[in-house]
C-alpha cells in the first residue's frame, strides 16, 4: 500500500505527509540515537493514521529525531505543525464517496450499539465504544444502532447525536438506526438522524434493526408502508445518495415481506442461531428470490447470545469464508460483524475474526468491480493481494 502523498516537490520527489513535520521539528527536540517507542505510538495514534500506512523507516526517523526529551509543550507544537501539514485544522472533510472498488476491507462493516448495552443479554460489562470497535477490527464502515428500552439503563445514545459523529469522522461510511434494537423507535430521534443525513459528510443511510415483528398479518413491521415511503421521500429532499438498510433474520424468510423489501435498498441477512449456519447458502438464495432488486449484505454474529458465549470458531470461519466467497461472486456487497459490546470480553471468535480480517482485508477486488452488475454463477471477482 502506498503512503499518502502531501505534494510533489519541485525536483519531482514525492513528499510524504510526515516529511514537513520532520523538517520543521528539528529545532524542537534534540537528536538522539535512542528511539522513544511511546512517542512513536503516540505519533501514530495522534495523527489517526494506521501504522500500516507509515513506512517503518519513516516512523523510526521521526521518533529518532524527536525523542527522547520532547516535553508536553513541544509535543503540542509538533501537533499544530502536523495538523497544518496534513491540511486538517477545522476544515470540513470532503464527502466520502460510496466505494465500489478497492479492496475487500472496503466491504467490511461493524454493527455497533452504546457501550455496555448488551449487559442484559450477556451478563458481562463491556466498555468498548462503537468507534473503538471499528478500530479494533480494522474496518472502515459502521452501523450505529440505538438500544432497546430494556437495554437503555446500561447504555444508549443520548441526544444530540452530532457529538457522537466526531469520533466517526475517520470512517468511510456511517449508517444510523431509526428503528433500533428490539424495534425501538422515536419520532424525535428519527428527526435527529435525518438531520445527520443532511450534514454528515460520510453519512450513508439509515438502519431498520429488529424491524419485522414475525407476524404474518396485522403489525408486520415497526413502521407502516406509508411511513417507510415517507422516509424515502425525505431522502430525496435531502438531495444525497442515501440507502435504507434493514435487518432480516433467517427465521423470517417465509413471511410475506415482499412489499416492505421493495422499499429498502440493502437487506442485511442474519442467522441468530449458530446451528442454522449450515443453511447459509439456501437462505441467501431465498433472499435473492424474495427481493431480486435489493442489494444484500451478510450479518455475522461474533457471539451466540442464546448460550452467552462466543460463536464456535469453526462456525465463525464458515460464516467468514462463505461471505468472502459471496462477495467475490457479487452475490453480496458487504459483510457486517456484530458487535463492539462483545469484543472486549475475551471470546476466541472475536480475536479469530480480527486476525482473519487482517489476513484477507487487503485482497484487491478485480478491476471494474461493480455491485450493480448481475451475479453470474461461478464468477470470482477478487484478485490476490
Overall number of domains in the chain = 2
pLDDT of residue 24: 35
| Shared domain check, 226 and 353 | yes
| Shared domain check, 351 and 278 | yes
Q: Among the three residues 54, 86, 118, which one is the final residue of a domain in this structure?
A: 86
Which pLDDT tens digit goes with each residue over 80-99?
A: 444 443 333 333 333 333 33
Q: Which domain holds residue 74?
A: 5-86
| Shared domain check, 150 and 262 | yes
pLDDT of residue 131: 98
pLDDT of residue 367: 57
| Shared domain check, 148 and 26 | no
**Mean pLDDT taken over the chain:** 80
Residue 98 domain flag: no
| Shared domain check, 308 and 255 | yes
Q: Among the three residues 86, 114, 139, which one is the final residue of a domain in this structure?
A: 86
| Shared domain check, 332 and 284 | yes
Kindly report the number of other CB atoms within 10 A of residue 241's CB atom.
12
* Confidence band, pLDDT 50/70/90 cuts, at residue 365: confident
Residue 96 domain flag: no
CB 59 within 8 A of CB 44: yes
Name the percent of the chain lying above pLDDT 90: 68
Instruction: Name the grid cell of 175.
Output: 449508517
Which pLDDT tens digit goes with each residue over 201-216?
A: 999 999 999 999 999 9
Instruction: Name the grid cell of 185.
Output: 423507535
Q: What is the bridge-based pairing of β-strands 334-338 and 364-365?
A: unpaired
340: pLDDT strictly greater than 60 = yes
pLDDT of residue 231: 96
Q: Which residue has the higher pLDDT, 72 or 105?
A: 105
Residue keyed to cell 468472502: 324
| Shared domain check, 29 and 162 | no
| Shared domain check, 179 and 61 | no
Q: What is the bridge-based pairing of β-strands 173-179 and 141-144?
A: parallel
Phi, psi of 140 (to 5 degrees): -100, 0
CB 145 within 8 A of CB 157: no
pTM of the full structure: 0.74
Residue 137 domain flag: yes
Q: CA–CA separation, 296 vs 277, rounded Å?
A: 17
45: pLDDT strictly greater than 60 = no
Instruction: Name the grid cell of 174.
Output: 456511517
Q: What is the CATH number of the domain that holds 353?
A: 3.20.20.80
| Shared domain check, 244 and 335 | yes
Which pLDDT tens digit goes with each residue over 52-70?
A: 434 444 333 343 344 444 4
Report angle CA 179, 174, 158 to the nearest 5 degrees: 55
pLDDT of residue 63: 38
Residue 41 domain flag: yes
Cα 118 to chain center, whole Å? Answer: 19
CB 335 within 8 A of CB 109: yes
| Shared domain check, 214 and 81 | no
Residue 97 domain flag: no
pLDDT of residue 101: 53
Q: Among the three residues 86, 114, 135, which one is the final residue of a domain in this structure?
A: 86
51: pLDDT strictly greater than 90 = no
| Shared domain check, 151 and 277 | yes
* Confidence band, pLDDT 50/70/90 cuts, at residue 12: very low
Residue 168 domain flag: yes
* Confidence band, pLDDT 50/70/90 cuts, at residue 18: very low
| Shared domain check, 300 and 370 | yes
What integer is the mean pLDDT of 219-233? 97
Residue 94 domain flag: no
Instruction: Name the grid cell of 239.
Output: 438531495
DSSP element (H, E) containing 190: helix 187-199
Residue 361 domain flag: yes
DSSP element (H, E) containing 281: helix 280-290
Name the percent of the chain lying above pLDDT 70: 69
Amino acid at each position: 500500500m502506498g503512503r499518502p502523498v502531501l505534494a510533489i516537490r519541485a525536483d519531482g520527489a514525492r513528499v510524504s505527509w510526515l516529511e514537513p513535520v520532520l523538517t520543521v521539528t528539528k529545532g524542537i527536540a534534540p537528536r538522539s540515537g535512542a528511539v522513544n517507542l511511546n512517542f512513536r505510538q503516540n505519533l501514530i495514534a495522534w495523527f489517526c493514521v494506521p501504522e500500516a500506512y507509515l513506512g517503518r523507516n519513516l516512523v523510526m526517523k521521526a521518533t529518532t529525531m524527536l525523542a527522547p526529551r520532547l516535553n508536553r509543550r513541544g509535543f503540542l507544537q509538533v501537533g499544530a505543525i502536523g495538523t497544518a501539514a496534513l491540511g486538517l485544522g477545522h476544515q470540513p472533510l470532503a464527502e466520502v464517496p460510496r466505494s465500489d472498488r478497492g479492496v475487500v476491507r472496503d466491504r467490511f462493516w461493524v454493527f455497533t450499539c452504546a457501550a455496555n448495552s448488551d449487559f442484559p443479554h450477556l451478563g458481562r460489562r463491556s466498555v468498548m465504544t462503537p468507534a473503538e470497535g471499528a478500530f479494533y477490527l480494522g474496518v472502515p464502515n459502521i452501523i450505529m444502532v440505538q438500544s432497546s428500552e430494556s437495554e437503555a439503563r446500561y447504555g444508549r445514545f443520548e441526544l444530540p447525536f452530532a457529538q457522537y459523529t466526531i469520533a466517526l469522522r475517520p470512517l468511510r461510511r456511517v449508517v444510523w438506526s431509526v428503528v433500533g434494537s428490539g424495534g425501538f423507535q422515536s419520532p424525535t430521534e428519527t428527526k435527529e438522524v435525518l438531520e445527520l443525513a443532511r450534514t454528515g459528510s460520510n453519512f450513508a443511510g439509515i438502519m431498520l434493526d429488529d424491524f419485522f415483528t414475525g407476524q404474518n398479518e396485522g403489525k408486520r413491521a415497526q413502521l407502516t408502508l406509508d411511513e417507510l415511503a415517507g422516509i424515502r421521500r425525505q431522502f430525496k429532499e435531502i438531495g444525497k445518495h442515501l440507502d435504507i438498510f434493514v435487518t432480516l433474520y433467517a427465521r423470517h424468510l417465509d413471511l410475506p415481506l415482499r412489499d416492505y423489501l421493495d422499499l429498502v435498498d440493502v437487506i442485511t441477512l442474519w442467522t441468530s442461531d449458530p446451528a442454522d449456519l449450515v443453511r447459509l447458502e439456501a437462505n441467501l438464495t431465498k433472499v435473492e428470490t424474495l427481493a431480486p432488486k435489493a442489494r444484500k449484505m451478510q450479518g455475522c454474529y461474533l457471539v451466540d447470545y442464546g448460550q452467552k458465549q462466543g460463536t464456535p470458531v469453526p462456525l465463525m470461519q464458515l460464516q467468514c469464508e462463505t461471505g468472502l466467497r459471496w462477495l467475490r461472486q457479487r452475490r453480496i456487497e458487504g459483510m457486517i460483524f456484530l458487535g463492539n459490546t462483545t469484543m472486549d470480553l475475551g471470546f476466541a471468535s472475536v480475536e479469530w475474526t480480527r486476525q482473519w480480517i487482517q489476513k484477507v482485508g487487503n485482497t484487491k477486488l478485480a478491476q471494474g468491480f461493480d455491485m450493480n452488475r448481475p451475479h453470474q454463477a461461478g464468477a470470482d471477482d477478487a484478485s490476490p493481494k
